[in-house]
Amino acid sequence: MKSKNINQLVLAGVLCGIGIVVPMLMPKIVIGPMSFTLASHVAIFIAMFISPKLAAVVCLGTTLGFFMTTPVIIALRAASHICFALLGAVLIRKIPEIIEKPLPSTVFNGGLAFVHALAEVAVVSPFFLAGSIFKPEQLADGYVMSVLVLVGVGTFLHSLIDYTVSIMLWKPVRAALPSLAELRE
């Protein structure tokens, strides 16, 4: 029992560290008010593949890192990741094969990306509607372009890519972990 808790704690710490460092090192695509960093969600997806508890801890840990290093809107977008991560982790707990087969995994990826995008749009919308954070020219582009397209569609596509990267990394990561059943409890 004690060994399981230590393994979970160490794994949470490593994944939080990865989740904080990756956005500092990976290439960014900046379009208007948004920036998308390749592989920035991989640590969260890996945690989600393991357990709901680990997914929640990694989301909270990475969010704390973002609150210390980025503007509040970006940190709040990071906080919104708990929505898709917990949903995904609970579904994986109930249907573990959902990430093992290509078609169910693709459908699962699309559903998670949609939830991910909705959560980030919900975070960004009040900032846009209040006229804060966004530059005047971005406000002039309108809500549809600035929030629904850039944040919503952009996050949806970004999430699809990061999930795909995570699935490719999952097999070797899973092989390196102690008993996955033990970690999932």
- Average pLDDT of the residues in 2-7: 76
Q: Which CATH class is domain 2-184?
A: mainly alpha
Q: Where are the alpha helices (DSSP H) in the chain?
A: 2-25, 42-50, 52-69, 72-79, 81-94, 102-130, 136-140, 142-143, 154-176, 180-184
pLDDT in tens, 165-181: 999 999 898 888 866 65
- Rounded to 5°, angle at Cα 132 from 127 and 136: 115
pLDDT at residue 133 tops 90: no
Q: How many other β-carbons are positioned within 10 Å of the β-carbon of residue 110?
A: 14
Entry pTM: 0.91
Helix or strand holding residue 29 (H, E): strand 28-31
Q: Is the confidence at residue 157, as pLDDT, over 70? A: yes
Pick from 25, 34, 50, 184: nearest CA to 121: 34
Please state the domain extents for the chain: 2-184
List, in order, residues 6 or more apart from 96 with CB less than 8 Å away: none
Closest CA to 59 of 45, 39, 70: 45
Q: Is 134's pLDDT higher than 80? A: no
